[in-house]
A and B are shown apart, each in its own frame.
Chain A
Amino acid sequence: KQEVTQIPAALSVPEGENLVLNCSFTDSAIYNLQWFRQDPGKGLTSLLLIQSSQREQTSGRLNASLDKSSGRSTLYIAASQPGDSATYLCAVSMDSSYKLIFGSGTRLLVRP
């Protein structure tokens, strides 16, 4: 059974710092991997989607990498801002049904 783990559970950094959020999964036969952002009491916003054949995706200050063989993905946030404060969730899909298996998230606080 696929399990997705995110470490750390919480992270507090000063503004301007570059940071890395980690996601690991136990079954490497994934279809794709997505990173989402969730603000308190809100729904999820899709940040980046990486297909199983891809190694990374970039959007603005965000870069997500995927290493299927080691069961890992990282989300790199450059020059962090207080507006980046949110919970970041990693999720994998195992087939074209697009059912997602989520990690429990990393709660990020960027201090001004």
Chain B
Amino acid sequence: DGGITQSPKYLFRKEGQNVTLSCEQNLNHDAMYWYRQDPGQGLRLIYYSQIVNDFQKGDIAEGYSVSREKKESFPLTVTSAQKNPTAFYLCASSMGIRDPNYGYTFGSGTRLTVV
């Protein structure tokens, strides 16, 4: 089955530690996105990538970093500079301009907690 796989499902981070969240898709989608969701709120865009080896900052990129070395993979690193990282992180992909009627596919999310 085609889809997006996020791992791990739960992640615990100590103060001052960097952690990396994995996102892999086998949908042959060009564009990939990372969103953050806080309790009772909508999603906010962290980073997005429309093509391999290129990515752009979203609305809340500070304290996060990404890479897009392969079309299938878009890992997100939460650095120690992110002061309030506890949240639910969602990865998504889309075919973007290749098929504007298609829409988005989301992963099942990673819940990050600072301990």
Contact = CB atoms under 8 A, between A and B. Distances in A.
Contacts of B105: 46
Given A32-B100, A43-B90, A100 B107 contact: no
Top 8 closest pairs, chain A to chain B, by CB: A102-B42, A43-B106, A49-B103, A44-B106, A43-B108, A104-B42, A102-B43, A96-B97
Nearest to B50: A97
Nearest to B9: A41
Contacts of B56: 97
5 contacts: A45-B106, A96-B96, A99-B45, A100-B33, A104-B40
Contacts of B102: 49
A51 interface: yes
Given A43-B108, A46-B104, A102 B44 contact: yes
Interface in A18-51: 32, 34, 36, 41-46, 49, 51
- Chain A interface helix/strand/loop/mixed: strand
Contacts, number: 68
Interface of A: 4, 32, 34, 36, 41-46, 49, 51, 89, 91, 96-105
Given A41-B111, A99-B33, A49 B41 contact: no
A98 B104 contact: yes
Given A46-B103, A49-B101, A100 B108 contact: no
